[in-house]
Amino acid sequence: MEYSVPQDFGTVKKVKRATENAVKVFLWTSAVMITGAVAILLLFLLKKGAPGLSLKLVFGDADPLRALFLQERVFNGIFPAIVGSFLVVFLSVTWAIPLGVLTGIYMAEYGNGHLKKILDFSFDLLASVPSIVIGLFGLTLAIFLHRNFSQRLYPCLLISSFSLAILIIPYIVRTTQLSIEEVSVSTKLAGLSLGASKIQNLLYVIMPASVKGILSGVVLAMGRAAEDTAVIMLTGVVATAGIPNSLLSKFEALPFYIYYISSQYSDQAELVTGFAAAIILLTVCGTLFSFAHVLKNVLVGKDNGF
Amino acid sequence: MKQRKLEQATKGVFALSTVVTGSLAVLIFFFLFYFSMPLITSGHLGEFFSSRWDPDAHAFGIYPMIMGTVYIAMLATLLAAPLGISLAIFMEVIAPPLLSRFLRTLVEFMAGIPTVVYGFAALFLLVPLVRNIFEQGSGLCILTALLVLALLIIPTVTMISQDRLKNVPETYILAAKSLGASDVETLFYLYLPHTWKGILSAVVLGAGRAVGDTMIALMVAGNAVQIPSSLIDSARTLTSHIALVTAADYESKSFKAIFICGLILFIFSAWNILFLRILGRLKR
């Protein structure tokens, strides 16, 4: 955008106007193209999947109420996949929250110097390691444990939830650390100056002030765990397993069901269940991610008040 | 005295958790390294980088998968970068506030679309389309994969770029405007010089996601083991190669070759993070 010395000012103005317009057209086009692509994707999913959305999709021929209370097995519905997904997400969050939040507190309140820099790098790295590599790690862990500790150990719900926990821990650490660091210095000092000990200050002043931020991290982590397919497909998910009856059993999961249907469907009806399952998973994950962002925005807005 | 002990104990708990979580990345690296160690020390490491993968003929080259990853991820990034950055600029610089808010919500929603759903939709919408347009092949190809992958990484590029653009001080913008600068001039003389590093790191993070994604390439790239020579060639990425492992024998060479793939992906991630660090330290 360097202009030469203006000799004919009118031409320069025209060229300038033309460049400006070209840039604006390009920006508008990008926005329209991206919005359009997402709209087409959503409409396509809805058109194909909506007819399949019914109680029958979830429970098959079983009685919904009896299936819900696990009195009747569901054979041709996605109920086991939904339960499996719920369980594996619930378990992974159970492992990841305490570790992640405690680490986040350490990073924000105690960490300093070289150690903190190394840890920073380690969490950034963990967050960027491809999920399939984490899945591969889970698989080798299962093989390792199987050989050295118990012959009964195979890839299973427990291994999957461990691996997913590794996948989401960096998110929880980071959001915890950030939300604590974002609490204003005056708030932090106020508690201490009133005679609170460091731990009291943490529990009664800092944590309540940063709980929304931490929650947004947890919700985001749940979304990541629920949508991930690569980790679980190496660590214990299968196409048919029913409701898992122990931590050491194989399990079904919604994302894997969608992947499985895409390659193994035998007729149109089965394909429709794949589309319907995709709509359900999309709704769950979309809601979780959007909710996480709402929480984060509330947090950012609030901190200006201090 | 008791208070002091409590303080020490809680700090100990925090530190212990940090040791556990902080060593996870090292642990993963160690496992990958340990399992590929026999290959590295065997002196035949070179044969794993040959271009032929055929376990029946004892050929375990992963070079085609490396090239598959490079092509698909690079082209997806080249497509997503201009689109994603433009969307960020559009939202921050020229869009009316209401439209900008709507687009931000849309992008945040996009970030939540599961990759398996992208893959599924593309398989039944884009793949037939590509097949019909080019009238050859199955439609499962690099082109299909890169288009979907671009859509996957656009939220990463856009959200980070927009956050950086937001950091340009309001006073600078007002100063530029009061000197008579138009939106586009403000963009080129103020926003971009001020934020290019942040925008570049957004692109690098996007590229990292493109390399690391499994499901899209697995579902729509066709997974053929070959060095792709055109956009409508089928290809297999390192990630899908790991996903496709069905070795029943964990001692087999084809299973061990998987760990080389894992190691390459891990080292790439580390390199990426290091690059972002160095970029962050550079002076403008």
Q: pLDDT (tens digit, 0 to 9) for every residue of chain A, 306 residues total?
A: 555 555 566 777 788 888 889 999 999 999 999 999 999 999 999 999 998 888 888 888 888 888 888 877 887 888 999 999 999 999 999 999 999 999 999 999 888 888 999 999 999 999 999 999 999 999 989 988 888 888 888 888 999 999 999 999 999 999 999 999 988 888 888 888 888 888 888 888 888 889 988 999 999 999 999 999 999 999 988 888 888 888 888 999 999 999 999 988 888 888 999 999 999 999 999 999 888 888 877 655 544 333
Q: Is A251 on the interface with B (CB under 8 A)?
A: no
Same domain (yes/no): A185, A232? yes
Q: Does residue A144 sit in the same domain as residue A254? A: yes
Greater confidence (A19 vs B56) lies with A19
**Do A26 and A92 lie in a common domain?**
no
Query: Would strands B59-60 and B53-54 be described as parallel, antiparallel, or unpaired?
Result: antiparallel
Are residue A195 and residue A76 in the same domain, yes or no?
yes
Whether residue B22 and residue A274 make contact (CB cut-off 8 A), yes or no, is no
The CA distance from B63 to the nearest CA of chain A, in Å, is 18
In angstroms, the CA B165 to CA B195 distance is: 6
Answer whether residue A158 is part of any domain. Answer: yes
Q: Measured between beta carbons, which residues in chain A are less than 8 angstroms from residue B82?
A: 30
CB contact, 8 Å: A113 with chain B?
Answer: no
The 10s digit of each residue's pLDDT in B195-254 is 999 999 999 999 999 999 999 999 999 888 888 888 888 999 999 999 987 655 677 778
Alpha helical stretches, state H, B112-247: 115-134, 142-166, 170-178, 183-186, 192-212, 215-220, 238-243
Task: List CB contacts (< 8 A) between B22 and chain A.
Answer: 103, 118-119, 122-123
Distance of alpha carbon B239 from alpha carbon B119, whole angstroms = 14
Mark whether A32 and A119 lie in a shared domain: no
The structure's pTM equals 0.90
ipTM above 0.85, yes or no: yes
- A83 and A127 co-located in one domain: yes
Q: Is the pLDDT of residue B1 over 80?
A: no
Report how far apart, in Å, the C-alpha atoms of A137 and of each of A20, A227, A233, A235, B236 are: 51, 19, 12, 9, 21
Q: If contacts are CB pairs under 8 Å, which of residues 187-246 in chain A contact chain B?
A: 197-199, 223, 226-227, 229-230, 233-234
Interface touch A136/B184, C-beta < 8 Å? no
Give the minimum alpha-carbon distance from A132 to chain B in angstroms, rounded to a whole number. 6
CB B24 within 8 A of CB A166: yes
User: What residues make up the domain containing A5?
Assistant: 1-42
- Using a CB-CB cut-off of 8 Å, the residues of chain A touching B123 are 262
- Contact of A104 with chain B, judged by CB distance below 8 Å, is answered with no
How many angstroms separate the CA of residue B186 from the nearest CA in chain A?
11
Residues of chain B above pLDDT 70, percent: 97
Contacts of A259 in chain B (CB under 8 A): 116, 119-120, 215, 218-219
Q: Please report the residues numbered 15 through 54 in chain A whose beta carbons come closer than 8 angstroms to any beta carbon of chain B.
A: 19-20, 23-24, 26-31, 33-35, 37-38, 40-41, 44-45, 48
Average pLDDT of B122-140?
90
Quick check: B159 pLDDT over 50? yes
A270 CB contacts (<8 Å, ≥6 apart)?
A261
Q: Please give the average per-residue pLDDT across B30-41, as a whole number.
A: 85
Q: Are residues A165 and A265 in the same domain?
A: yes
* Residue of chain A whose Cα is closest to the Cα of B35: A140
Please answer yes or no on whether B113 and A290 come within 8 Å at the CB atom: no
Residue A251: DSSP 8-state: B
- CA distance readout (Å), A48 to A55, A269, B152, B213: 17, 11, 21, 25
Residue of A nearest to B217 (CA): A230
Note whether A156 contacts B: Cβ–Cβ < 8 A.
Answer: no
Distance between CA B87 and CA A305 in Å, rounded? 31
Mutation site for A-interface testing, chosen from B21, B109, B153 by largest number of A Cβ within 10 Å: B21
Is A106 in Cβ contact with B18 (below 8 Å)?
A: yes
Q: Does A99 contact B at CB distance below 8 Å?
A: yes
Which of B13, B123, B272 lies nearest to residue A128, judging by beta carbons? Answer: B272
What Cα–Cα distance (Å) separates residue B106 from each residue in A14, A34, B80, B178?
36, 10, 16, 33
Say yes or no for a CB contact (<8 Å) between A223 and B112: yes
Q: Round to the nearest angstrom and report the end-to-end CA distance of chain B.
A: 51
Count of domains forming chain A: 2
Q: What is the pLDDT of residue B249?
A: 66
A:B CB pairs within 8 Å? 236
Q: Which of B17, B95, B184 sits opposite A106 (nearest CB)?
A: B17
Query: Is residue A81 domain-shared with residue A15, that is, in the same domain?
Result: no
Residue A32, min C-alpha distance to chain B (Å): 9
Distance between A26 CA and the closest CA of chain B, angstroms: 8
pLDDT for position A63: 83
**What CATH number is attached to the domain comprising A94?**
1.10.3720.10
Choose among B112, B124, B214: nearest Cβ to A285: B112
Residue-level pLDDT at A1: 53
Looking at the DSSP bridge assignments, the partners of residue B247 are: none
Residue that is written with structure tokens 């808010």 in the block: B101
> Are A16 and A67 members of one domain?
no
A38 and A70 co-located in one domain: no
Summarize chain A as % helix, strand, coil (round to 5): 75, 0, 20
Same domain? For A4 and A84 the reply is no
Q: Are A93 and A217 members of one domain?
A: yes
Q: Please check whether residue A274 touches B, CB under 8 A.
A: yes
First to last CA, chain A: 43
Res A304: pLDDT: 39
Query: Nearest Cα to B184, choosing from A108, A27, A120?
Result: A27
Q: Using CA atoms, how far apart are residues A5 and A16, in angstroms rounded to an integer? A: 13
Which has more pLDDT, B264 or A241?
B264
CB contact under 8 A, B113 and A233: no
- For A43, the closest chain B residue by CA position comes to B121
- Interchain contact, B20 vs A98, CB within 8 Å: no
Q: How far is B87 from chain A (nearest CA, A)?
A: 5
Mutate to test the interface with B, among A3, A30, A228 (most CBs of B within 10 A): A30
> Are B11 and A110 a contacting pair at CB < 8 A?
yes
Fold of B57-281: MetI-like fold (1.10.3720)
Distance between CA B60 and CA B65 in Å, rounded? 11
